[in-house]
Amino acid sequence: MFYQLKRSARELLLLIAFIFIGGIFLWNYSTKVSLDTVLVVNGRKVPYEDYQRILIRELERARENKEKELTEKEKNIIKRNILSSLVQEQLLLEEADKLGIDVSDEIVANTIASFPQFQRDGKFDIRLYYDFLRYYYRTTPEEFEKEIKNSIKTRMIRRILFQSVKVTDEELKREFERRYPDKSFEGEKEKFKKELLNERMNMLYYEWMNEQFQRAKIINNLPRIEKISG
């Protein structure tokens, strides 16, 4: 199980690395992509400003946890991870569209109102919400609400994907005894069940996403943008 999980994750990471390191070559096949678009995933455009906003936030977060200035290598890893997340999000949203999944404005509003950082004395505070978006997220309410809607959609797709992931008591006991021959199964049963289910869900996700990546038409426009902007 561990070997399969690592192999699936490694295959996906290698594919992602190839796409992003070779992004400029992929761009050569589509010179019509404008500079305000950082990625195109199966025809779905990701605005450069979305990428830039996330990048600023992630760089600030990384600097807060590091005494020294970030190296170029560390910055490039952050960039690659952001691009990877954006591509995966678009592939999940594409699947949501295929299945006709939509999220109402009411669900989005209720989700946002439940966030502790937007509450004062246990109640949603609209001024606190606007200030948080302006000074921390550096985005507009419209853009943030779109992010929340997309996040809910992608979670729904993951939930559908993971419906098939199950483990019987017999499988659970056999796998536990193989990994932990000196431990008590009954005492660790529930904890190990969560661990095993998470492993299987991760493996299923990596395999599914790896398939989507291989079939997808992905254009990484970032190398071109960075080259032109200097």
Tell me the pLDDT band of 33, cut-offs 50, 70 and 90. low
Distance (Å, whole) CA 42 – CA 12: 18
Q: CATH no. for residue 27? A: 1.10.4030.10
Tell me the pLDDT band of 229, cut-offs 50, 70 and 90. confident
Helix (H), strand (E) at residue 124: strand 123-124
Could you read off the pLDDT of 216-228 as tens digits, one per residue?
A: 888 889 988 888 8
Residue 151 lies in domain = 2-229
How many domains in the chain?
1
**What is the DSSP annotation of 166-196?**
---HHHHHHHHHHH-TTS-HHHHHHHHHHHH
Tell me the pLDDT band of 3, cut-offs 50, 70 and 90. very low
Would you state the pLDDT for residue 156? Answer: 97
pTM over 0.95: no
Residue of 65 and 38 predicted with greater confidence: 38
